[in-house]
Amino acid sequence: MIDPMAVAADVLVAAVGIATPLALAATGETIAERSGVVNLGVEGAMLFGALGGAIGATAVGPVVGLGIGVLAGVLVAALFAAVAIGAGADQIITGTAVTLVSVGLTGTIYRQFYGPAGVGLSLPTLSPLPLPILSDTPLIGSALFAQPVTTYAAAALIPLTWYLLFRTRFGLALRAVGEDPPAARAAGVSVRMVRTWAVLLGGACAGLAGATLVLAQVGTFTERMTAGRGFIAIAIVVLGRWNPVGAGLAALLFGLATALQFALQAAGLKVPYQFFLMFPYLLTLLALAGAVGRVKAPAALGRNEY
Amino acid sequence: MIAARALGWVLAGVLLASCATREAPAPFRVALITPGSIADAAWNSGAFTGLGQIHDSLGVPISHVEARTPAEQEEALRTYAAQGYDLIFGHGFEFQSPAERVSADYPAVVFIITSGERVQGNVAPLIFRLSEASYLAGMVAGGLTKSNVIGFVGGVELPPVREASEAWVAGARAVNPEVQSRTTYLNNWDDAALGREAARALIRVGADMLHHNADAAAIGVFQAAKEAPGVYLFGANADQTELAPSRVVGSAVIDLPRALLLVAREVQSGTFTPRVESFGLGSGVVQYVPNLALDSMIPVALAERVRAAEDSIRQRDGQ
């Protein structure tokens, strides 16, 4: 009765959809971490991106919502940069504080705008844009080529980021700052400036990721709706070995695990779906332990002295 | 997890700070602790509305916090009790054991656990037999389904949630023995994007009637139904018709404000004795509320069967 091929194709569609915000946020965090900054405020930037997206879409439309979401993410990242880079505070503590502030503040702002009872607002969403011909490819056609515009944005952002990091002067300076800040400084690179730009770019990606959740998926804002995706993105950066292409693939793996466990539950199979949820984390741990290829973090990651 | 814990400390700090300004003699005061956001348009928002009505009707000071983890929940209970609140609502099954531990130290405080389990000292449960309304929703779904597949999205697999899911399936099977049911748990009450994915997975295997018990995460279930032609759903805990007016056939509703106000009034007047207070369809606190705009969808014979089932449950309640 149910065509297994069609089910597999649908699972892939869901996997890519779930992976999109993760890939966006992880790509942004890869930029920040390559410059030597661990930004645990990603979760907060995503939440603000989601709220900004909702407000922008209510006021004007979904495309403006995406723009406001990006802007909101940049602002949260700027707060982090001011404290962690400008004032030289501990990155981990600053990032945690930024996320905590964001959780509280987005909830408060949301209730101010839309009332405490929170009747779910219904926003216009970005519908899938099927690319002609390509989207008819069997199995993977609709997963890769019939997605909302934000998925294409993520797909474009990954090679662009790779190019930025590994093929431009700015990328070279950025990686130098992440590996050996004193040497970079001796070569005339402003460590603070480069790190600030890296964090702001990361914030823009996180904001877009949050707006994607609202405008390409749920169609509404709910408090804490990012539900830890910012932290998963940080794990994805590790699993992706501080490379945007790796981050994209790792995000897909997380997306696939989630999509698969829902498909199994919906099929009524009595399998422990928790195992599938655990799987990508297990892989991340293994990656950290050096079992899945050799992993080397930027040498100056998390360190402020330079 | 660290984030949630730290937030709890901040909340506790705010509570302690407010404690300093307490004047004597302390008036009757009521506190509510919800396990999630009060902007969920369902379980938590209903309790918060009830707290507001307690303030308005009884003219007593009130307070509310959200506490998500077991550690925060116990901390919040203890903080309110230490501040001398007279009545503390722990809004959900998960508050039962923390309240039992805390209440041992505060025998003068009444702890009411909504969807709780049992009476223990001054801890008393308010039990909502939401499953009676979910059963009626299931009957409607069983009569309306074209694919003979119905789906349920649960937040966390707690006993009250499982009961609602089982009653929904039983109701559907009572009308249509052919019905197959699928249940998906999110392990989460907040993640609306996951709620949507879970619902989409159910729709993919053919489910055309959905029901949920997932608080804020369920907003994603409504979104998934709106995106899929021919899929209808049933709200839970509150009348959720306006989340998807053309797709919500009805809602299994708990009139939380009414139940909370009833208890608060009793505790304030001093007539309250800890007992298991249970509300079903007969009490009017639990109801099945149809979406009148979709009434024409429901065949007359089905509507009559549902009404008959409702009457017999009410009568059983009355005995």
pLDDT digits over A8-57, tens only? 888 899 999 999 999 999 999 999 999 999 999 999 999 999 999 999 99
In angstroms, the CA B151 to CA B203 distance is: 8
Q: Which residue has the tokens 């009559």?
A: B304
Best of B51, B219, B227 to disrupt the A interface by mutation (most A CBs within 10 Å)? B219
**pLDDT-based confidence at A294, cuts 50/70/90?**
low
pLDDT bucket at B90, cuts 50 / 70 / 90: very high
Looking at residue B241, its pLDDT comes to: 92
Mean pLDDT confidence for B285-296 = 94
Q: Which tops the pLDDT comparison, A246 or B6?
A: A246
pLDDT at A290: 67
Taking the C-alpha atoms of residue A165 and residue B221, their distance in angstroms, rounded to an integer, is: 40
Query: What's residue A292's pLDDT?
Result: 58
Asked if A47 and A225 count as a contact pair (C-beta separation under 8 A), the reply is: yes
The minimal CB distance from A117 to the residues B41, B192, B226 is found for B41
Closest chain B C-alpha to A200 CA, distance in angstroms = 23
Could you give the dihedral angle defined by the CA atoms of residues A86, A88, A89 and A94, in that order, rounded to the nearest 10 degrees? 40
Query: Does some domain include residue A301?
Result: no
Cα maximum dimension of chain A = 68
Res. B133: pLDDT tops 50: yes
**A305 is a domain residue:** no
Task: Give the pLDDT band (50/70/90) at residue A119.
Answer: low
pTM, two decimal places: 0.85
Domain of A247, in residue numbers: 4-292
pLDDT band at A264 (very low <50, low <70, confident <90, very high): confident
Tens of pLDDT, residues A15-25: 999 999 999 99
Q: Domains in chain A: how many in total?
A: 1
Residues of B within 8 A of A110 (CB-CB) are 39
User: What number is the average pLDDT over the span A202-225?
Assistant: 93
Whether residue A128 is contained in a domain is answered as yes
Q: How confident is the model at residue B198 (pLDDT cuts 50, 70, 90)?
A: very high
- What pLDDT is stored for residue B67 in this prediction? 93
**Is the residue at A297 inside a domain?**
no
Does residue A249 have a pLDDT over 70? yes
Residue A1 has pLDDT above 70, yes or no: no
Residue A167 in domain: yes
* Nearest CA-CA partner of B210 in B220, B221, B219: B221
pLDDT band at A207 (very low <50, low <70, confident <90, very high): very high
**Residues in chain A whose Cβ is within 8 Å of chain B:** 2, 7, 10, 14, 17-18, 21, 43, 96, 99-100, 103-104, 107, 110-111, 114, 116-120, 122, 125, 213, 217-220, 222-225, 227, 258-259, 262-263, 265-268, 274, 277
- Contact call for A266 and B182, based on CB within 8 A: yes
Residue A287 lies in a domain: yes
Lowest mean pLDDT among A71-80, A126-135, A204-213, A241-250: A126-135
Closest A-chain CA to B180: A268
| CB within 8 Å: A222 and B182 | no
Beta bridge partners of B209: B150, B232
Q: Under an 8 A CB cutoff, do A120 and B226 touch? A: no
Q: What does the alpha-carbon distance between residue A176 and residue A173 come to, in Å, rounded to a whole number?
A: 5
| pLDDT at site A248 | 96
CA distances from A201 to A22, A27, A70, A73, A192 (A): 15, 10, 10, 9, 14
- Contact (Cβ atoms closer than 8 angstroms) between residue A192 and residue A47: no
Residue A243 lies in a domain: yes
Give the CATH number for residue A111: 1.10.3470
3-state helix, strand, coil in chain B (%, to 5): 50, 20, 30
Q: How sure is the predictor about A222, in pLDDT bands with cuts at 50, 70 and 90?
A: confident
Task: Supply the ipTM of this predicted assembly.
Answer: 0.87
Q: Is it the case that residue A247 has pLDDT exceeding 70?
A: yes
Per-residue pLDDT band for A121 (boundaries 50, 70, 90) equals confident
CA distance to partner chain B, nearest, from residue A292 (Å): 27
Q: What percent of chain B has pLDDT over 70?
A: 91
- Average pLDDT score over residue span B165-187: 95
Mean pLDDT is highest, among A26-30, A254-258, A282-286, for A26-30
Return the higher-pLDDT residue of A4 and A62.
A62
Q: What average pLDDT does the segment B109-134 reach? A: 94
* Chain A environment of B222 (Cβ under 8 Å): 120
What is the Cα–Cα distance from A241 to A222, expressed in whole angstroms?
32
Most confident residue range from A3-7, A96-100, B3-7: A96-100
Q: How many CB atoms lie within 10 A of CB B316?
A: 12
Q: Is residue A303 part of a domain?
A: no
